[in-house]
Chains A and B, each alone.
Chain A
Amino acid sequence: MSGSLVRTTFAGAAKGSARSLWRIRLDVLTRYASPVVLVLLWQAACSAGLLSSRLMASPARIVATGWSLTRDGTLQANLTVSLMRAGCGLAIGVFAGVSLGLVSGLSRVGEDIVDAPMQILRTLPTLALVPLFILWFGIGETPKIALVALGASFPIYLNLYKGIRSIDPKLLEMVRTLGLSRGRTIRDVILPGALPDLLVGLRFAVGISWLMLVVAEQINAESGIGHMMMDAEDFLRTDIILLGLVIYGLLGLVSDQVVRFLEGMLLVWRPSHRVVGAR
Chain B
Amino acid sequence: MNRIVQELREVRLPSRNDAAVIVQGLTRRFGDGPAVLEHLDLAIAPGEFVALLGHSGSGKSTLLRTLAGLDPVIEGSVSRPGEVSVVFQESRLLPWKRVWQNIVLGQAGANGRERAMAVLKEVGLGHRGDAWPLTLSGGEAQRAALARALVREPAFLMLDEPFAALDALTRLKMQRLVSDLWVRHRCSVLLVTHDVDEALLLADRAVVLERGRIRMDLPIPMERPRRHADPRFEHLRTVLLGTLGVHDD
List residues of A whose CB falls within 8 A of some B CB: 170-171, 173-181, 184, 188-189, 192-193, 195, 268-271
Contact = CB atoms under 8 A, between A and B. Distances in A.
Nearest to A181: B106
B106 A180 contact: yes
Interface in B85-102: 85-86, 88, 90, 92, 94-97
A61 B69 CA distance: 74
A193 B106 contact: no
A170 B90 contact: yes
Contacts of B69: 176-177
Contacts of A180: 105-106
Contacts of A268: 132
B5 interface: no
Given A268-B132, A269-B132, 10 more contacts: A170-B88, A170-B92, A177-B69, A179-B106, A181-B106, A188-B105, A269-B95, A269-B96, A269-B97, A270-B134
Contacts of B166: none
A176 B92 CA distance: 12
Contacts of A193: 94, 96
A266 to B, nearest CB: 9
B106 A178 contact: yes
A177 B105 contact: no
B95 A175 contact: no
A175 B101 CA distance: 13
A271 B85 CA distance: 29
B68 interface: yes
B70 interface: yes
Interface in B65-86: 68-70, 84-86
A66 B79 CA distance: 79
A168 B233 CA distance: 40
Contact of B134 (A175, A176, A184, A269): A269
Contacts of A175: 105-106
A173 to B, nearest CB: 6
Contacts of A192: 94, 96-97
Nearest to A266: B96
B135 interface: yes
A130 to B, nearest CB: 41
Contacts, number: 52
Contacts of A269: 95-97, 132-134
Nearest to A173: B70
Interface string B117-134: 000000000000000111
Nearest to A179: B106
A209 to B, nearest CB: 28
A191 to B, nearest CB: 10
A176 B106 contact: no
By Cβ-Cβ distance, the 6 closest A-B pairs, closest first, are A174-B92, A192-B96, A180-B106, A269-B132, A177-B86, A269-B96
Contact of A189 (B85, B94, B132, B152): B94
A196 to B, nearest CB: 9
Interface in B40-56: none
A177 B68 contact: yes
14 contacts: A171-B92, A173-B70, A174-B88, A176-B69, A177-B70, A177-B86, A178-B106, A180-B106, A188-B106, A192-B96, A192-B97, A270-B134, A271-B134, A271-B135
Contacts of B70: 173, 176-177
A187 to B, nearest CB: 11
Contacts of B148: 178
Contacts of A188: 94, 97, 105-106
A268 to B, nearest CB: 7
